Structures are given as C-alpha cells and as structure tokens.
Amino acid sequence: MFPQAIGLAAMFDEDLQEKIARCISTEARAKYNASVARGDRDIYKGLTFWSPNINIFRDPRWGRGHETYGEDPVLTSRLGVRFIKGLQGDGEYMRAAACAKHFAVHSGPEKLRHQFDARVSPKDMNETYLPAFEDAVKLGRVEAVMGAYNRVNGEPACGSDTLLHQTLREKWGFDGHVTSDCWAIADFHAHHHVTSTAPQSAAMAIKAGCDLNCGNTYLNLLIALQEGLITEDDITRSCERLFTTRFMLGLFDKTCEYDQIPFTACDTDENDALAQKAAEESMTLLKNDGVLPLSPDAVRTLAVVGPNADTDLALIGNYHGTSSRSTTFLAGLRAFCREKGIRLLYSEGCGKTADKLENCSLIPDDRVSEAVSCALAADAVVAVVGLDEFLEGEEGDASNYTNSGDKIDLNLPASQRRMLDALEKTGKPLVTVIAAGSALSVPQGNAQLVAWYPGQAGGRALARILFGQVSPSGRLPVTFYQSIDDLPEFTDYDMKGRTYRYFEGTPLYPFGFGLSYTRFELSDLAAGKDAAFVTVKNAGDMAADAVVQVYIRSNESPFAPVHPALAGFARVNLAPGEEKRVRIDYHHTALTVVNDQGERVSGGPTFSVYASLTQPDPRSTELTGQAPLAATLTV
C-alpha cells in the first residue's frame, strides 16, 4: 500500500511515480497468475486497472479529490503519464492496462453527480479539464478511458459524442477502449432524463463509443438492436476493442513474459522499502517554529494523542488494498521511542467526528482530559488528527454529515478542534500531524505536518521525519485556503477564483509549498526555449531533497491565467553545502495559451519565467523567506 494519489502528487517525483506503478503491475501479475492457476477469475482479480484518476481537484470540498494528483493540469499530466507507463510497461505485452478517469470535467458535488450538468467554457475545458487526458492518450498511450457520471454541457459523459468520438478518437487518435463508470449509463434515463428507456440509454452510449458498461444496462443491447436503435456493427466494434485489450495483455498467448511472475513477488522487503520512501517524500511540513526535528536527548517522554494515531484508516484513503505490513503512526513512533529509550504515553483523546462543539458530548469524547494528562507528563506532544475515507470519499461508499462524501468546510471535526485547543493550553511543544487527503485549515500546533494518507509505511516514515532522520520534502499539490468563504459555489465549474492559477486572495499555504529542515538557495536562472536552468544549493547542515519548480506566464496575451502556471519541476537530493545545476524541461503547453474559443495558440512573444521552491507569489515569499528568481524569455 503506497500513499493515496494526493500523497503521490505531493512527492513531485516523476521517477518514483513510475517505479511505484511498475511495482503495482508486478504484484498485479503475481496475484492474477495465482488466481488463474486455481480457476479463480472473479471480479477485482483481473489486469485492467481503473487508475489513474486524473480529474482536476478544483475545489477542496470534493470528497474524491484525494484520488487525484491535485489541482494543476501540468503536475497531473506529468504524474499521470508516468503512472500509466509504469503500470503498462514497454514490453511485447502490457503488464496491466491503465484507465484514465473520469472523462471528463468531474469533481463534485458527489451527491449531485448522477444528475449534475457541468457547464464549462471552451477555454476552461481545454486549458484545465482536458490536458491531462490528452497527454494520457498521446504520451502515455493509455489503454482505457472511463467516462464520468455527470453531464458535460448537456451531454452525459458516457454517451457524449463530443467527448468520446469527436475529441477522444477523432482529435486525439485514441485507439483503446472506453468503459462507463459503474451504473452511469442507467443514469441516462433514471436521473439525467436524456433518454426514456434502458435500451435507449444502451444505444446512446455504445454509439457514442462507450465499449464496456459497468452495470447492467448493456443487457438491453439485444433489445436495442431489435428496436433498430443500433446495428450489429456497433456491437462488433466495441467487442473488437475489448478483445484487443485482452490480446495486448497476452491472455491468449502461453508465452507471455509475465505469466511466470510468482506470488512471492508480492509483499517483498524491496516493495516495502519503496512504500516507505514514497511516504517520506510525500509528507509535507507546513509550519515549524523550531520544535522539529525532535531530539531524542531532549524528549525523554513523548505524548502521542489523537483519533488518527492508532488506526489503519488514517493510512489508506479509499480504494485500498490490505497490507500485511501496515504500521500506524502510533506503532511507528512507539518502535522508534523504544529503540531510543524514550517513554511514550498514548491517548485517543477524542472521537474523530462531531458536527458541532455542543454535540461533542454525544460521541466518544471523554478522553480529552486523559490526553491533557499525557501532555503534561511529556516533554513534547504529537497530536495525530484529520479525516479518513468515511469523512471524505465517494458518494455511496462514504458519507460526511449530509453531503455524501464531500466536506462542508475546511475545519477539522469539532471534537478534534476541542482536543487541540486543550492541548495548546498545556504550553507543551505541540506537533500537529494531519492525516487527510485535502486542504484543511488547522491553526493549532507549534509545528504542523500533513501526512496525507501515507500507505503501509506511514508510521515508520512519520517517526523518521519527526526525529530528524530524514528531512520532510513533500510539496502541496493543492492550494490551502483560509476558508470556504474564499471560494465560488461548489457547483460552479468556472475556473475564476479557483486553484493557484486563478485565485486572487491570500492562501493559507500556497500550491507547491513545503518546509524542510535545511535551507535551499536558488541562483543563476537561465530561461531557454525548451527548459530552464537553475543552480540549487543546500545551505544548511542536513542532507535533503529540494523540489525546484518553474512557472511561466505570458507577458502580452490577454488569455494568460492570472498567475504564472507550473511549467516543470525537479526533485534534487543535496548533501550539506552541495550545489547542482539543474535542467527543468517545460511541459509542451508552457509557451501557449488557450483563447476563449478553446484554441491553444502561442502566448508569445515574451514570457516571465520563475524558478522557485513554491508558487511565486507574495505569500510564498513570506513563508519561505526568499523571493523567486525571475527571467524574461523571448521566442
């Protein structure tokens, strides 16, 4: 179990992303081979993986946002393509078949998704919502695409001629297969009311190019044929696409190179080490007044409190496997403290949820005083708070208050806020660890670390970071806002006022931000036509990874986003005092803009190019203590 996708995005590490996907495909083949050997071909045991989710996390309320790679089209594209390549491989056969989802324009609200019509301008469509899918098709050669539940500008996504035929196949040249989301085609007549009967819905979807139905609506294809709604050629076309995928997986060839991968390829020490590396790279330090890293010499008694400290739910997010090696945050800290002779005191502190402060007494919240007692007896306190898949997730699988998986605000549940307030009053050094998959506004803590949902090695990674064995190096793949009041209506899909590219307020923490235990210095920016070159130096006394980011904005075009947009990034490991000259290649869209008609055109002749350790804005400079480097590029 690796970090949930939003945690993988926080790594800003394309190479590690591909290694992780390759590991997943190896274990997939191992489990598939073992199942087939026993005649077990049940659901969830095949080789078509419905991943990655490359929707844009446009609003922090969306419950499924933690399945994505964040709010930026370039970051999403780069990580999505590398995940697809790692999963599918480059051999004679595919290792596993990836599926880019949910096509398209899908990011909540969850409770409305079966009848919702996402109205999107041509500019936003082609600048924000479609680029990662286009790259998945053209650069990643993704084998499958999944349609979304919602309508897009009036057309149900799984039956949209505009999306599935004109865009996906004709414009982009996609030659794989399309699957519906589960029961999405039944929504055509049951909720969208664009058809009247199940045969009509089946006909609409298959004629648009949806080859596979997750659900039972395609049981009506024969009726649709008899009613003259489709032809046999329509059915044959989809069957050929689906069987092509099976041939590409080598399922009809006994010499497939992956057939001999044994079950023992799963759950190896090497894979576990990879999961730990990913967890360590993903955790993101937002605040530190000097309390971190903790010193084993100074901290002889550690209090670990909070409802997310000792639960696997805080490690996994939704759509997860079950690892035999899961190490909770408490278990990881306990093992470290035992090794160093540090006494550890633990209290759950409070229940995970309560909608209002006055309702805290109605849920298991009677351990706040116990948590305070632990804190008073300790040299430092680690409070592990946050959410889980039952507080943010997919409609139907999880629920948060009344909003079917979505959040209603950016606050922690009131029970946790009450506990943190009580801990702050003790005056003991307080490290707040947030396990969540989305932006939250949490004021409490001398230091604050977002652990995301870090996977099976989360506990070990947390201990190593808190005690300074490794420096935190994650970066925010989403903007952390002060409040929901800073955002447009959840149902508004216009990008104005959303994400770092168009938000004109002051963020709590900006996109791309994350602190380190060392200090990095950037110098000598040179902006070329295809890449930027910058020197990065570790000016501190601890080895660490820097995540160098390049942002670009057209100086003349009226169609440029409000703020410079991410063009490329690089993760660089540096010893104390070491410096390196780094090349950062631009994404192929970096020197273009999208006009109001949705056409991608040149943004020239001149551009401002920035090299920074985070999004280049005044809040970033305030938090990092250094302004971004800037250069002008003329093309």
Pure H helices in 195-284: 198-208, 221-226, 232-248, 269-282
pLDDT for 297 equals: 96
CA 206 – CA 234 distance, rounded (Å): 7
- Mark whether 439 and 546 lie in a shared domain: no
Using pLDDT thresholds of 50, 70 and 90, give the confidence band for residue 396: low
What is the sign of the dihedral through the CA atoms of 50, 53, 59 and 64?
positive
Number of domains in the chain: 3
Average pLDDT of span 72-92: 97
CA 635 – CA 627 distance, rounded (Å): 25
Using pLDDT thresholds of 50, 70 and 90, give the confidence band for residue 365: low
pLDDT for 356 equals: 46
Return the CATH number at 473.
Answer: 3.40.50.1700
Query: Angle of helix 269-282 relative to helix 14-37, nearest 10 degrees?
Result: 140
- Mark whether 114 and 185 lie in a shared domain: yes
Instruction: Tell me if 502 is assigned to some domain.
Output: no
Average pLDDT of span 480-486: 96
- Mark whether 123 and 235 lie in a shared domain: yes
Residues in the chain: 635
CA 329 – CA 320 distance, rounded (Å): 18
If one counts every other C-beta atom within 10 angstroms of the C-beta of residue 294, the result is 23
- Mark whether 128 and 185 lie in a shared domain: yes
- Mark whether 291 and 241 lie in a shared domain: no
Summarize pLDDT for 511-565 with one digit per residue, the tens: 999 999 999 999 999 999 999 999 999 999 999 999 999 999 999 999 999 999 9
Task: Find the largest Cα–Cα distance for the chain.
Answer: 79
Instruction: Tell me if 453 is assigned to some domain.
Output: yes
Position 431 pLDDT exceeds 90: yes
CA 602 – CA 121 distance, rounded (Å): 20
Domain ranges, residue 238:
5-259
DSSP SS3 for 611: strand
Average pLDDT of span 301-319: 96
Instruction: Tell me if 488 is assigned to some domain.
Output: no
CA 3 – CA 133 distance, rounded (Å): 22
Summarize pLDDT for 437-464 with one digit per residue, the tens: 999 999 999 999 999 999 999 999 999 9
Return the CATH number at 228.
Answer: 3.20.20.300
Using pLDDT thresholds of 50, 70 and 90, give the confidence band for residue 362: very low
- Mark whether 143 and 70 lie in a shared domain: yes
CA 377 – CA 294 distance, rounded (Å): 17
Return the CATH number at 585.
Answer: 2.60.40.10
- Mark whether 461 and 607 lie in a shared domain: no
Which residues are within 8 A (CB) of 159 and not within 5 positions of it... i.e. 6 or more apart?
147, 185, 188, 194, 201, 204, 205, 208, 210
Position 630 pLDDT exceeds 90: yes
Closest CA to 458 of 355, 317, 338: 317
CA 166 – CA 598 distance, rounded (Å): 15
Instruction: Tell me if 494 is assigned to some domain.
Output: no
- Mark whether 628 and 564 lie in a shared domain: yes
Say which residue the tokens 């791309």 belong to. 512
The DSSP code sequence of 439-454 is -------SEEEE--S-
Instruction: Tell me if 506 is assigned to some domain.
Output: no
Rg, C-alpha atoms of the chain: 25
Q: What token pair was written down for 461?
A: 């990674």
Which residues are within 8 A (CB) of 146 and not within 5 positions of it... i.e. 6 or more apart?
50, 99, 100, 101, 102, 103, 178, 179, 180, 181
Summarize pLDDT for 139-179 with one digit per residue, the tens: 999 999 999 999 999 999 999 999 999 999 999 999 999 99
DSSP SS3 for 550: strand
Which residue numbers are catalytic? 181
- Mark whether 245 and 275 lie in a shared domain: no
Q: What token pair was written down for 578?
A: 């070491």
For residue 304, the cross-strand partners are 346, 382
DSSP SS3 for 216: coil
pLDDT for 533 equals: 98
- Mark whether 246 and 314 lie in a shared domain: no
Q: What token pair was written down for 231?
A: 């032809």
CA 144 – CA 99 distance, rounded (Å): 4
Instruction: Tell me if 371 is assigned to some domain.
Output: yes
Average pLDDT of span 112-140: 97
Instruction: Tell me if 491 is assigned to some domain.
Output: no
- Mark whether 252 and 292 lie in a shared domain: no
Boundary of a domain, candidates 259, 286, 307: 259
Summarize pLDDT for 261-297 with one digit per residue, the tens: 999 999 999 999 999 999 999 999 999 999 999 999 9
Instruction: Tell me if 569 is assigned to some domain.
Output: yes
pLDDT for 404 equals: 55
How much of the chain is helix, strand and coil, in % rounded to 5?
A: 35, 20, 50
CA 442 – CA 515 distance, rounded (Å): 17
Averaged confidence pLDDT in the chain: 95
Name the pTM for this structure.
0.96
pLDDT for 181 equals: 97
CA 85 – CA 92 distance, rounded (Å): 14
Boundary of a domain, candidates 413, 447, 478: 478
Position 27 pLDDT exceeds 90: yes
CA 178 – CA 121 distance, rounded (Å): 24
Using CA atoms of 597, 140, 389, 514 in order, give the dihedral in degrees to the nearest 10: -80
Which residues are within 8 A (CB) of 252 and not within 5 positions of it... i.e. 6 or more apart?
246
Pure H helices in 359-400: 368-376
pLDDT for 395 equals: 81
Boundary of a domain, candidates 259, 280, 308: 259
- Mark whether 214 and 67 lie in a shared domain: yes
